[in-house]
Each structure stands twice: as structure tokens, then as C-alpha cells.
Amino acid sequence: MPSYTVTVATGSQWFAGTDDYVYLTLQGTDGCSERHLLDKPFYNDFERGAVDSYDVTVEEDLGEIQLIKIEKRKYWYQDDWYLKYITVKTPVGDYLEFPCYRWITDEKEVVLRDGRAKLPRDDKTQILKQHRRKELESRQKMYRWKEWHPGFPLSIDAHCHSELPRDIQFDNEKGIDFILNYTKAMENLYVNRFMHMFQSSWSDFADFERIFVRISNTISEYVMQHWREDFMFGYQFLNGCNPVLIRRCTEIPKKLPVTMDMVECSLERNLTLEEEVKQGNIFIVDYELLDGVDANKTDPCTIQYLAAPICLLYKNLEKKIVPIAIQLGQKPGPDNPIFLPSDATYDWLLAKIWVRSSDFHIHQTVTHLLRTHLVSEVFSIAMFRQLPAVHPLFKLLVPHMRFTIAINTKAREQLICECGLFDKANATGGGGHVQMVQKAMKDLTYSSLCFPEEIKAKGMDSKEDIPYYYYRDDGIKVWEAIKSFAEDVIHIYYESDEVVCEDVELQAFVKDIYVYGMRGVKASGKVGWVTSLLGQMIRTRETLAEYLTVIMFTTSAQHAAVNFGQYDWCSWIPNAPPTMRCPPPTEKGTVTIEQIVESLPDRGRSCWHLGAVWALSQFQDKELFLGMYPDEHFVEKPVKEAMAKFRKNLDEIVSTITERNKNKKLPYYYLSPDRIPNSVAV
């Protein structure tokens, strides 16, 4: 009688093992095996991290094994089991791999296909077509779209983390408890002692050092020492934690009536302002999105303020970017002066502080929350709804969706919800952040997520003109490495553009992203979100490669670039005030150091802010970085070779960045692949 050797690997997560009854059924082209009992309670099989083997004897040859069914029947209490994979050695000596990498809960069963990736057209038998269809039907019931706020990208239909499908929950929910993590962070930073003085002001700038934690040779300490300097102010637009707003100025906007007389002392080339603009030496950052946004009113004891500045910057003869004019409101007028480096020291300093505060708000709500977290959740939900586990694009994308829906659900539960932690320290809390996302959705285009295109559209693509833009340089390298990897995988499974057009699951995935996740945004760049209600779709391998690169880059590199520098750049509170307690100045020559300190966050809000940027800047336990794929969803040799090539390309980028950063006082490492997590998970 034919005998099959079945090997079962259990995950190493806490509580991954099981003491329930476990049954196995093999289904082949020539028949189906009997239901075999693999494990009974207290047999000590399927323990955490274990690999167990069994001989399964059948009466007749089953032919080519197509499906494996695993059943778990409860013995005493609910005992979830994390199944990594099953391998089967056939009677003729062939090895088949059946990836799983999911939890089997309650008295559930799971049906697995072998690990070879298949497009819909590759399935010829009815049993495989039916399995594919049932998997998607089941997933679409579990992963439902929901509107959290009008005008937002749609999110998962779950009120809290515990309501999520078990497969996408964090292994340890305490690890992503924002209240617990922020409180722990404040304990680690020794700032809890200031919380009893919540609404009291600091005495002076030096007083902020009392909550500042010095960590040897860090960027944060360099920021504390140099934050007042115009060079440091300008440098952050290129390589801080929000390096996405600066653009080359092609024309001075009418709403910023800067004259040559105002800025002449800042220009170094003996050219007029108009000539400097024509030569590409003037840059602009406009915080217009903040105009009209309501400031936080959740604390009646503390009035908070927002501004919508416009900042003009100049590339000096050293090719460094420095500010030359700041207007703190959008409408010019006598009560909205243009502040200049030649003004009184505290006038100019307060104007720069207002820009830094506005930059912090745009960074947190638009650059970080909307354009990485919420967009990545859309990609994740659409993937689970429209791509079965056997699809090559599911196998390619699933590592980049790890824990994203979970972290966003927890954020909606504790962080950005009404009365959440966001309200405690931020001037855009209490609903302002919601208004910002709704406004920013109008500019959330497909093209704006194509990294090289967005850099070029802002006029920031010339390395010769702007040599110190490391965010651009490293981002392009990582983008190209990801795109090359995506192209390699695409060419393994899609031998022509026609095959791309025929892939109904791919087209449904893209449509789900656009129609549901992105709400059918019309002003969506060069090809929209690639699809529309009119039936447009991805038609070529080239377009597909770019689309997948957008997804993989956004969920990994872009998030890393704007998240993990938060402590470095925002822990020195005057450099990134989360709120301002006095309105923007309406005239020059009146600002004092006392007024500046009184404008900055009070002690309690400073502590909450410091705990937040510390917690958000930490990697997850057992973080998986770009190119690390311990879960082997792919089994084919060509794909594994493509992965090896990808890792080699990433290693070369790491070496280049490491060499460049040597002896730099301000190293830039946020886009070094060994510091880029695969997914948005914090």
C-alpha cells in the first residue's frame, strides 16, 4: 500500500502549539485518502516551534496531490494553532510543499494547495477552481470595507483589534497598546515627574533640557545644539522626518509679496530675486492645507493655535538650503508680515518655530498617517479580498502587509479617535487631523506615490543642483531595487502583456483599491489609480511592475523614511512643537524670549509628545527588514533566485549608504535597507 511521509511545522509564536485533535486528508487527481488522526491531546506533538513527521498509508495511489485538508477539533478549551507549512513526500520520492502561515482557530479546518504559484488561467480542474473561489468568498466576508470618517480612504470593518481576523492580529496585543507604550516611554525617559505640573510653562529653552534624554552621538542631541541655525532649519526640509514638501519655486506666488529689497542681503550671487528664481535657486514650502483647520479645543484651560505659513528658501553658494522669508498666514496684509533673517533675533526665531510646528502637523497627519498608514491598509484589505494565497502577487505582497491593518485598527481605537492620545498634545487634535486628511485626499494621486515622479514633479531631481538630498538619492536606489525585483517576479509568471490583461484576480485587486479603498478619487495623476468605474485596467507588465513597486515602496521604504526619524528630529521640543499656546505674531519688533517660551507646549504636553515620538520611532520586536522573507510562500527556484538577487542589490545599497555616512555629524540612514521594515507595523 502506498505510503506518504507528512511533515508538519508549527510556528514559534507564543501559544502557537496545540493540544487538540488534528486530522489530515490528502486529495489527489485519482482519489482522496481517508481522514487520518495525526495528533491527540497530550501527545506533545505540534508544540511551539516543533517539526513533526508522520507516515500516512493509503489503499491506492492518489495520483498528483492537489489539496491537503487539516482539521482541528477542540479537546477542552479554545487552543489556536499556528501552522507554518506541511511537506509531503510521495511514494515515488517527490517532495511537495504546502505553505500555510496562518492560525487555525476554534474547530476549524484549512484546505491547502501546494506552494507553486498559479494564475487563475493555470487552474484546469474544477476542484482547484472551486478551492480558489471559496477562499476568496470566505476572505471577502472577513475583510470588509468600512468608512471611518467621510472623505477618508476606507478601512477594515472592525471596532477594535480583537475583532480582526486572527491571521492579521499582533501576536501580543500589549505590544501595540499605545497608552501602555507611551506611559512606558515616559517612564524610560524619566519625564513622569513633570506630569503633575501639566499646564505650567517651562522657564526658558534650557528648561526643556530637563526632559531631554541625551543618547551619545545621536542626531537628536545635534538638533538640540544647532536648532536655531538657518542651516539646520533648511536641512530638515531635505533630510528630516518630513522631506517631502520642499519644491523648486518657478514663480513667487502673489500671496507671498516678497520684494528684492527684503531678501537682497540673503542672496549671494549678485542676481535679482527673479533671476535667482529663473536659475532654480529658490525653493518654497507652502502649508496652505492648514489654512482653516480648527485648532484643538478639547482642553478649555489651554487655548491652542495653528498657522498656515509659506516659507521661501534659497540655495546658497555652498549649495545648502537656507530660509530667506517666512509669512505665517496665507493672506498678505499689514497684520501678516513677512519675517526675514535680517529681522530681530527673536522675531525670526519665532517665525521659524511656527514653520517647524506646522511642518510637524503635516508630517504626522498627511505624510505619515494618510500617505503611509491609511494607504497601506487599503492595499492590504484589497489583497486579502481579491488575491488567493496561490496567486503569485499575494505571495509577493503579503510580507509587506504584516500587521498593518492591526496597527491602524489600534490607532483608531486609542490614538486618533475622539478623546484619544492624539488630543492630549497636538494642536490638530479634537478633529483638526480629520479635516486635514479630508483636504489632503484631493492631492493623494497615484503619481504622487511614484517616488521618482514625485521628486521630479517638485523639481528636486537634480543631484548636481541639490547634492545633499539624501532622502531622494537613497529613495531612488531602493525604488529601483524593488522595481527590479517586481519585474523579475512578473516575468516568471506573466509571459506577455496579454496574460496581465486576462488576470481577473489582479484586475479585481486594482479595482478594489481604486473604487472602494480610494473612494474613486478622480484627480488621480497620470493613469488615475490605473483603473476606474469605466473599466480601465492594468494592461502591460511594465505598468504592473510600477504598480507593485508603488505598493511595496510605500509600505516599506516610504514609511521608514517618515517614521523612524521622529525621535531624532522631534524630541527637542522647540524644533517640532506639537502645539502653540499663543497666536502667531502680527507685527515685528515685539517678540521676546519669554513670549516664545510661553507659546511653546507646556510641561504636560511636552511629556506626552516626547513619549509619543520615542514610542513611534522604535522597531517592533523581531522586526523583519526589507528583503527578509522567513515565511516561504514561494517554493519555485526562479523566484528564490530573484529574492537572492534582490537581497544582493539591497546589501550594496546598505554598503553605499554606510560609506557615505562615515564621519558625518548628520548621517542619513532612514532609507538604508537594513533599517527599512517590510511593512507598516508601528
Segment 224-256, tens digit of pLDDT: 999 999 999 999 999 999 999 999 999 999 999
Total-model pTM: 0.95
Residue 355 binned pLDDT confidence (cut-offs 50, 70, 90): very high
Which helix (H) or strand (E) is 590 found in, with range?
none
- pLDDT of 529 higher than 60: no
Distance, C-alpha 511 to centroid of its chain: 21
Show binding-site residues for Fe cation. Answer: 368, 373, 559
Show binding-site residues for Ca(2+). Answer: 17, 39, 79-80
Show binding-site residues. Answer: 17, 39, 79-80, 368, 373, 559
Interval 126-169: pLDDT, tens = 999 999 999 999 999 999 999 999 999 999 999 999 999 999 99
How much is the CA Rg of the chain, to the nearest whole Å?
28
- The residue assigned the cell 475583510 is 143
Phi/psi of residue 171, nearest 5 degrees: -65, -35
- pLDDT of 528 higher than 50: no
- Cell numbers found for residue 658: 554606510
- Cell numbers found for residue 463: 543631484
- The residue assigned the cell 534624554 is 213
Q: Which of 252, 443, 233 is nearest to 357 (CA)?
A: 233
Task: Residue 486: count other Cβ atoms within 10 Å of its Cβ.
Answer: 26
Percent of the chain clearing pLDDT 70 (strictly above): 94
Scored b (16 or more CB within 10 A) or e, 144-172 reads ebeebeeeebbbbebeebeebbeebbbbe
Task: Please give the pLDDT value at position 205.
Answer: 78
- Residues pairing with 677 in the sheet: 625
